[in-house]
A = this chain, B = another copy of it.
């Protein structure tokens, strides 16, 4: 699997932790820092240390695991740790973890002293196929996802398939949802390939293919003016459901579980509005329903869900804007959806 060229940086797949060691050696950084969470500190940091030759010139900044850590308060904590450790403008931040680590770490680095270098070492499937590629950084405020952030490219991404072996099945499936989305929006062959694969254990080649698709999209439209919006399929409703669950459920939905719900609802809207066939709607609904656990979407959640959708970054002039499909493998951006339509989409899922 060849190294992928992204927006002035490389995404490494083969011997990627050795590539990271080379990168650090050649980078002439004054210091480096590793941002981990309590899980990656245990399961991933030892492997990283070993591959880097157990250097003693780095400090570790550890945050709690989970989406709650993507809050501005944790970001302030990271900034203060960097200050206390004496990080200067020639420091490097290595984000070792899932999407929370790369989004938060990327934002913290892109704003610390007006920007220091950072790289991602994504350790979850979700972050390997989604968060680590594309140069979006972000944090949440009051559980509104990624409401604050920057467009800043990492200096490199190092994807190590071995890290996936440490993941629980549920986390693997969380990443699979984004892979399925990549197929749905722009590659029907890839969608068909995924349907035939064991998605509880996706191969390295499938992961690679997803990263390549996402990279193609973000390279063409780094600031989300047009084609990049395709990646938002499933996310208008999915993010609202995810936020709702994060606030209200003891055992919250994973990102992928919420996005799978969002994709079913938005596939229904695609069927109603943008020409997705009934057979394709059924195919998408069945594939996703077979993979992901059922979630009870009560009608009493509807007002809150709409309120979250209204705060979505993609909206304009107070109108809710969705990316839909015109067919499997064919996205369709900038569809204004009325509250009634969105509720119909939610209802489609609820009544399955």
- Which residues in A have some Cβ–Cβ distance to B below 8 Å? 30, 72, 76, 79-80, 83, 86, 88-90, 107, 110-115, 136-138, 141-142, 144, 146-151, 310-311, 313-318
Contacts and interface: CB of A to CB of B under 8 A. Distances in A.
A88 B147 contact: no
Given A316-B90, A317-B30, A115 B83 contact: no
A166 to B, nearest CB: 31
A204 B151 CA distance: 38
Contacts of A146: 114
A266 to B, nearest CB: 20
A148 B72 CA distance: 13
Contact of A112 (B80, B111, B148, B151): B148
A90 B115 CA distance: 25
Contacts of A150: 110-111, 114-115, 150
Given A30-B317, A80-B142, 5 more contacts: A86-B318, A112-B148, A113-B313, A114-B137, A114-B149
B311 A83 contact: yes
Contacts of A149: 111, 113-114
B86 A141 contact: no
A76 B83 contact: no
A336 to B, nearest CB: 13
Nearest to A135: B114
A81 to B, nearest CB: 11
Nearest to A72: B76
A92 to B, nearest CB: 14
Given A72-B76, A141-B79, A88 B148 contact: no
Contacts of A90: 316-317
B79 A148 contact: yes
A144 B90 CA distance: 18
A321 B89 CA distance: 12
Contacts of A89: 313-314, 316
A89 B316 CA distance: 7
A88 B317 contact: yes
Contacts of A310: 86
A147 B151 CA distance: 19
Contacts of A86: 310, 318
27 contacts: A72-B72, A76-B141, A79-B147, A80-B141, A80-B142, A83-B142, A83-B144, A86-B310, A86-B318, A88-B318, A89-B313, A89-B314, A89-B316, A90-B316, A110-B150, A111-B111, A111-B150, A112-B147, A113-B147, A113-B148, A114-B137, A114-B138, A114-B146, A114-B150, A114-B313, A115-B151, A150-B150
A99 to B, nearest CB: 16
A240 to B, nearest CB: 15
Contacts of A151: 114-115
Given A30-B316, A316-B88, A317-B90, A83 B114 contact: no
Contacts of A311: 83
Nearest to A144: B83
